Amino acid sequence: MILSLLFIFGLIIGSFLNVIALRLLKEEGFIRGRSHCVFCQKILHWFELIPVISFLWQGGKCRGCQKNIPWRYILIEVITGGLFAGVHYFLSNQNLQNFWPILIFNLIIISVLEVIFLIDLKDGVIPDILIWPFIALTLLFWWLSGGNILNYFLTGLACTAFFGLQYLVSRGRWMGLGDIGLGFLIGVFLGFPRALAALLFAYISGAIIGIFLIILNKKNWASSVPLAVFLVPSAILALFWGEKVIRWYFDILGKM
């Protein structure tokens, strides 16, 4: 029952995250502002805003201009619903004392990471407002909850140094300052060893997809790809399976 409710709640939050990602850089209000079609600016009625259902009912098209609604909207809604239910299931198997505060905290940071993913994918930037306040919130949470704040803080610094060095070596060609901040956020959110797993996932998936795009002539060796597009999904995967992957990796190294 609780998983179903969290999935539905995640669908609603996912719809809201789409709005934030669409309006944040435009400095449009996303609390009071009326939702509208991004193509014809038609104001949407309440029945056109029901997560997933409205998209399917309208055949994936705007009722006004009949242009196709981007699939990323429904995908983010469904993914967010799945993540909300999945995080609850994952944490409920760990016998945590502060279960609900930890659950809410994880859902907040995951939601922020999703918005970062969407904005970096579309606009190629990572707004500071999505980085530094949530770094502070994360450190405050670990401190108040009795977590190993030194581990999280040092992991954040290590990730910052890792990306910062690449930024300096490439003179900003490989990544931007926003990516360094994102590395800090993921480091303080995941801690060690999960953050290490996130980096491994991100660079392996980035290399595979990058080579695939080059083969298809969609990119060349000098092309840049938004780092958050790989780092955010990798961080979420690492939250669930990062420790197991790193343990498995070091077990293999120990047997060599």
pLDDT of the residue at 124: 87
Question: Residue 102 and residue 126: Cα distance in Å, rounded?
Answer: 25
Note the pTM of the prediction, 2 decimals: 0.90
Buried-state track 22-36, b at ≥16 Cβ within 10 A, e below 16: bebeeeeebeeeebe
Q: How many CB atoms lie within 10 A of CB 140?
A: 11
- Asked if residue 62 is part of any domain, the answer here is yes
Question: How many CB atoms are closer than 10 A to CB 19?
Answer: 18
Give residue-wise pLDDT tens across range 193-227. Answer: 999 999 999 999 988 887 877 777 666 555 567 88
> Residue 55 belongs to what domain range?
1-95
Residue 114 lies in a domain: no
Structure confidence by residue, pLDDT tens digits, 68-81: 878 889 999 999 99
| Domain annotation covers residue 103 | no
Q: How many domains does the chain have?
A: 2
